[in-house]
Structure 1
Amino acid sequence: MEKIVVLDFGGQYSHLIAKRARYLGYYSEIALPSISKNDPKMKDVAGVVLSGGPSSVYDKDIPEFNSDILNLDVPILGLCYGHQLLSKEYRGVVRRAAVGEFGVVELTNVAESPLFDGVTFPTQVWTSNNDEVTELPPGFEIIGSTKNCRIAAIQNLEKKRFGIQFHAEVRDTLEGDKILGNFIKFCGMKKNWDTAKIKEIILEDIKRDAGDKKALLFLSGGVDSTVAFALLNAALGKDRVLGLHIDNGFMRMNESAAIDERYKKFGFTNYIIEDASEEFLKAVKNITDPQEKRKRVGETYINVRNRVVDRLKLPFDDWLLAQGTLYPDIIESGGTKHSKTIKTHHNRVDGIQKLIDAGLVIEPLKDLYKDEVRAVGRALGLSEELVGRHPFPGPGLSINVLCSDGVIKEVELYEKTNKFLKELNIASISKEIKDIYAIPIKSVGVHGDIRTYAYPAALDMGEFYKKAIDWDEIEKISFFITNKVKEVNRTILKIYEKQGLSLIEGYCDKKRLDMTRIADEIVLSALKKYGWYNKIFQHLTINLPYATKRDNCSVVLRPVVSEDVMTAKFARLDQKLLSAIVDELRKIDFIDAVYYDATNKPPATFGWE
């Protein structure tokens, strides 16, 4: 079968390229960049795509690339790192960019190209890079530029080579599908793939991978584990599948009871609920490092699973561990050959990785993204109540409760960040900004496929939420700050603050989890009441140890819209809805401040940990 082969240099979106090709109706596969052009996987290749990646082409330890691939007589397209590598291999020059580009930018057309057939210019594209091509390879021409990147798109039609600095595979590149489709059309490939085949392929894979074994599935109650549960039941039968829902103490208000009710309503019967809240709370006691917290949560899942297996006398060798792991979880955990760790997901800690290496784990959704999972769930007949829920990962609220021993880490960096923010000519961007400052607790982000851990910038724009909100202006300001100040990966808007806030000692304990549950329930109830719950992808209520006293906290509202989790935009909530949420939160005595996270992904991640 003809195919498009994507060479994976470890970029956050490598599999998304293959996914987009399949969505467009063309079969595609992922391969290592070191692959031989004579490898069986390269048989019937119609075109090759070089993915993005976290490396710089001038680094010493870059992914091994078999440059003999360039001798193939098929079209080749380089994206981001792939664009830079293609340019370097053909004797162009790549250097550190004077101004890195992260997020949405405008691409203008410089010359005609089959890559841009039907594209309306200027067009919005999405980029994430610190490097750029500064000198064209001989025989190539520039076909597109952005404000800060002159050589943003190139071609050599004689050699059938193309390079683009932006990511055509993400939805924020508005005409990305058209660009990728044009490339595949240039490859002369005919449509040969139907996404409806995904479900059947997964069912066959489950039967093959499980053999005669049974499957014990970690069942969080979220979309991913629910769809995995339905797939396993369909492939193996209910007698060979057992769902294990663990109440880890990190659930939303009354969440475990609600999950039980939903499953019974749908007809699921082969699952049990285990209350292990005390065990999980003990595991994360006094832990402040987010990576360590995630690892402890993941290891505790394994301990609870082993205890349940022993109690139920399930023969260990007869049972596989099943998980609803998605491909983004693997990428962000550094689970592909060249990818960097953004954050360690609970389903990729050492204990689980050992089981994976031993062939004792089955993950039906590991090659899929969230939107594909929902589509498969609907194809299986799952109710909208089950597949339309906001994502809620296994660690639950534990990763929404940020922790601190009360001491600012890296004081010099914090002061330096504050200094840079104060020196910004922010008034030239907006007269609405009264102040800008750093919050003294770090959050996780991603820049150029690499994990960042930085202090967020807070903006005082007065009571902006009490009038018509200019979200375009706010997004512009947020983009300006995170591009100008490399020490910042997140911009938040101050909604209100009490006097005398400071970093306090606070950990992930039952008291702070209950505080988070109360605030979270207020927000989710308002989203449903005002008809906004299904308009956004997810809302995270973040609890910060930034308050007037030990028993209080600050709350960050983090609503996001996304299709595939790999990229996202902060949600632009309706002014009436936001005002209603703020009015209710103001009534809560322990909440000393409320902020609104107005940062896209990247440079921020969905959550703060």
Structure 2
Amino acid sequence: YNPDILAMGKPMLGLCYGHQLLCHRLGGQVEMGETHEFGAAYLHVHKAEGVLAGLDERERVWMSHRDHVAALPPGFAVLGSTEDCPVAAMGDAERKIYGLQFHPEVTHTVRGMEILNNFAALCGAERNWTMERYTEETIERIQGQAKGRNVFLFVSGGVDSSVAFLLLNRALGAERVLGLHIDNGFMREGETAMVERLMKGAGLHNLEVVDASAEFLAATAEIADPEEKRRRIGEEFIRVRDRALAALALDPDEWLLGQGTLYTDTIESGGTENAAVIKTHHNRVGVIDQLLAEGKVVEPLDQLYKDEARTLGETLGLPHHLVWRHPFPGPGLAVRALCSDGPDAEDADSGLALETVAEAQKVAATFGLVLDVLPLRSVGVQGDSRTYAHPAVVSGQREWKTLEALSTELTNNFPSINRVIYLLGPTPRPQQNIKAGYLTRDRLDLLRRADAISMEALERHGLMEEVTQMPTVLLPLSSDGVQESVVLRPIATSDFMTARFCPLPQAFLDDVCERLLALTGIEAVFYDITHKPPGTVEWE
């Protein structure tokens, strides 16, 4: 942060923390709010002027904050508020300085683009950014960075790595680009064969496939901590790269590492100067950070969000079905199979007070639902920071609006709860406890089959395009110390900075729940009813 920016006399727009920073530096007051806001909220527009010009009296916006503006700086007026945030929008029309506590840049602020357009108009900015122009500039950037060297890229088969692979081929030519698809043992059922088929179908034949599942399983053996799992996976990718280069007799000094990193990944990994680490992406572990510092990593998508990467893919001519595949994380099922050292370790690390559980149960009862807090933890994002807290499980009559309201109420008011899931079956839920469980072939095979059942059900019910992504998560939660539980996490989003959980039809729920419970090794099925924030899309 450079304080001289505030003295430039230019139009300014502060979002979320930027809103609070403007207030603090310009003479107002910022305080911790009594109620936190994560997810959907309704903005009451007091003055439809400045950046809020043209908005209605009530607009849906997306929040993620704990602190709030308690007193305005001199010259500012309140432009909008929410039920829990008295200064959700403020402005100084004379100086053209505005602050918004909510996030207009994300999809789930319904008229966010109008707000940003209003600010662009106040700045007199030209609207000359196009995907075609970005493509041309990025190709020039790749060529300038490579300077005669070649690029080696891990290709998972997801949209990010596929688009990056095609763009690198366009920029350098197929003879200077090598794609490597690694079967790390964490792939979905039949994924490796499908990736090879899709790449060749798109005209990309410079792809090698390597089975390194044994190495990755060894590297992550008996590791329960999610950050440590991601770190080990990221570092094993580099070791596999070096072995592949050696096997192909390629000079490492002549080959740069290419990655399909998005701007979202950089933010969540704490990769910008003031960003907190939410979860370390496998392409942001220490050894890769070192390569970045040395200028040995090419990231052609690092300024794009997911929706923009998809637009770029279509601009480049990738097939529609490849561009719109459900995303799959680089570490694969490793971050969807939660691990645990067992009940003793979880109890020692938990920090969950019985009083908290009792209070949360009282809140759930007012919604006509029964609640328990699970003896395990998942990763979340609240107020732009990482949380590692407990999911609450609720059961009772399923009414989506009620469940959404309860989920928001719990995560806004109980810091030790960052995710809420609903019991699909069986009813009643077995008496479950955490059990020891790690990344083993048996657990991963069970998750692979459960994931395939879930994806097949989406296809069968015609829901693949309605749902942006639906991770199937394996929990080491058991009544007998042998069986486990799964969670379905269907979400809708375009940018992946925020997401809403998807309420899916009863016919789908009955179908998929019955099939999953018939799977040997699965004793309970849950449904994640948490937006992002406060819950990340992946559980780890």
TM range (shorter): over 0.9
Counterparts of 1:505-584 in structure 2, within 5 Å, are 505-584=436-515
1:596 paired residue number: 527
Per-residue CA deviation, residues 259-305 of structure 1 (Å, 9 max, x unaligned), is 11222222221111000000000011000000000000011101111
Cα distance in 2, alignment partners of residues 352 and 187 from structure 1: 38
2:375 paired residue number: 440
Per-residue CA deviation, residues 135-169 of structure 1 (Å, 9 max, x unaligned), is 12222211111111112211222222212211111
Structure 1 counterpart of 2:17, one-letter code: Y
Match of 2:250 among 306, 310, 314: 314
1:212 paired residue number: 148
Cα distance in 1, alignment partners of residues 294 and 285 from structure 2: 14
Counterparts of 1:164-179 in structure 2, within 5 Å, are 164-179=100-115
Uncovered stretches (5+) of structure 1, i.e. residues with no partner: 1-32, 35-65, 465-469
Uncovered stretches (5+) of structure 2, i.e. residues with no partner: none
Counterparts of 1:133-144 in structure 2, within 5 Å, are 133-144=69-80
1:274 paired residue number: 210
Shift of 1:258: 1.1
Cα distance in 1, alignment partners of residues 453 and 275 from structure 2: 38
1:330 paired residue number: 266
Cα distance in 1, alignment partners of residues 342 and 7 from structure 2: 59
Cα distance in 1, alignment partners of residues 215 and 363 from structure 2: 50
Q: Does 1:100 align with 2:36?
A: yes
Cα distance in 2, alignment partners of residues 198 and 420 from structure 1: 53
Of stretches 86-95 and 292-301 in structure 1, the one that deviates more from structure 2 is 86-95
Shift of 1:499: 2.6
Cα distance in 1, alignment partners of residues 292 and 126 from structure 2: 37
- Secondary structure at 2:125's aligned position in 1? coil
2:300 paired residue number: 364
Structure 2 counterpart of 1:231, one-letter code: L
Indicate conservation of the 8 Å contact 1:417/1:488, yes or no: no
Cα distance in 2, alignment partners of residues 190 and 261 from structure 1: 43
Counterparts of 1:134-533 in structure 2, within 5 Å, are 134-407=70-343, 408-410=346-348, 413-416=351-354, 419-428=357-366, 430-431=367-368, 433=369, 435-462=370-397, 464=398, 470-497=399-426, 499-533=430-464
Shift of 1:177: 1.1
Q: Does 1:110 align with 2:46?
A: yes
Structure 2 counterpart of 1:508, one-letter code: L
Per-residue CA deviation, residues 464-521 of structure 1 (Å, 9 max, x unaligned), is 3xxxxx3222211111111121111000001124533211111111000000011100
Of stretches 149-158 and 521-530 in structure 1, the one that deviates more from structure 2 is 149-158
> What percentage of residue pairs aligned between the two structures are identical?
44
Indicate conservation of the 8 Å contact 1:418/1:437, yes or no: no
**Would the alpha carbon gap of residues 232 and 547 (structure 1) be closer, same or farther in structure 2, given more than 3 Å must change?**
same
Indicate conservation of the 8 Å contact 1:248/1:276, yes or no: yes
- Secondary structure at 2:185's aligned position in 1? coil
Cα distance in 2, alignment partners of residues 385 and 112 from structure 1: 42
- Secondary structure at 1:489's aligned position in 2? strand
Match of 1:605 among 533, 536, 539: 536
Structure 2 counterpart of 1:440, one-letter code: P
- Secondary structure at 2:465's aligned position in 1? helix
- Secondary structure at 1:149's aligned position in 2? coil
Cα distance in 2, alignment partners of residues 264 and 189 from structure 1: 43
Indicate conservation of the 8 Å contact 2:360/2:410, yes or no: no
Shift of 1:112: 4.5
Per-residue CA deviation, residues 93-117 of structure 1 (Å, 9 max, x unaligned), is 1111121211111111223422222
Shift of 1:388: 1.3
- Secondary structure at 2:351's aligned position in 1? helix
- Secondary structure at 1:511's aligned position in 2? helix
Cα distance in 2, alignment partners of residues 525 and 232 from structure 1: 33
Cα distance in 2, alignment partners of residues 581 and 266 from structure 1: 32
Cα distance in 2, alignment partners of residues 397 and 209 from structure 1: 33
Cα distance in 2, alignment partners of residues 174 and 585 from structure 1: 36
Shift of 1:385: 2.3
Shift of 1:90: 2.0
Q: TM-score, normalised by structure 2?
A: 0.96
Cα distance in 1, alignment partners of residues 129 and 159 from structure 2: 26
Cα distance in 1, alignment partners of residues 206 and 17 from structure 2: 47
Cα distance in 2, alignment partners of residues 130 and 417 from structure 1: 22
- Secondary structure at 2:535's aligned position in 1? coil
Shift of 1:249: 0.6
Cα distance in 1, alignment partners of residues 363 and 161 from structure 2: 47
Indicate conservation of the 8 Å contact 2:45/2:55, yes or no: no
Counterparts of 1:83-94 in structure 2, within 5 Å, are 83-94=19-30
- Secondary structure at 1:425's aligned position in 2? helix
Indicate conservation of the 8 Å contact 1:421/1:436, yes or no: no
Structure 1 counterpart of 2:215, one-letter code: E
Superposition RMSD on alpha carbons, in Å? 1.5
Indicate conservation of the 8 Å contact 1:506/1:545, yes or no: yes
Structure 2 counterpart of 1:522, one-letter code: I
Indicate conservation of the 8 Å contact 1:417/1:438, yes or no: no
